[in-house]
Amino acid sequence: MGRFTADNQPSNRRGKGKKTTLPAKLTTKALEVLEEALNAGEQWAVVETLKRVMPPLKPVTPGDSLDGEMLRAKIKEITEFEERLAALEEQNAKSQ
């Protein structure tokens, strides 16, 4: 059996690699609703718009790397410092 060529494609591709096109009327209506919601200050509209303009940041440092271990150690150090500070503040409040 030969390789698939431009003329020899499977009939059941089911849209792989193809973009689904929405009807222009539906797209226009959706954009109008979004614009109205943005103008009204709807939080969901702002969030959805920002997600597409500026996608959420993803972590760059893998957890099992040396940088990841150092980051965990620094977080632990800061957490312990905050706990000690809170204990000292509580002790100071009791003594006054």
Per-residue model confidence (pLDDT) at position 1: 53
Task: Identify the domain containing residue 26 by its residue range.
Answer: 22-58
Q: How confident is the model at residue 39 (pLDDT cuts 50, 70, 90)?
A: very high
Q: Is residue 6 situated within a structural domain?
A: no
Please tell me whether residues 32 and 65 are part of one structural domain: no
Tens of pLDDT along 45-80? 999 999 888 888 777 777 677 888 888 899 999 999
Mean predicted confidence (pLDDT) in 1-13: 63
DSSP string, the chain: -PPP-SSS--TT-TTTT-PPPPPHHHHHHHHHHHHHHHHTT-HHHHHHHHHHHSPPP---S-TTSHHHHHHHHHHHHHHHHHHHHHHHHHHHHHH-
| Residues 29 and 39 both lie in one domain | yes
Shared-domain flag, residues 63 and 95 = yes
Residue 77 and residue 50 in one domain: no
In a domain, 78, yes or no: yes
* Domain presence at residue 14: no
Output 58 or 94, whichever has higher pLDDT.
Answer: 94
| Same domain? 41 vs 74 | no
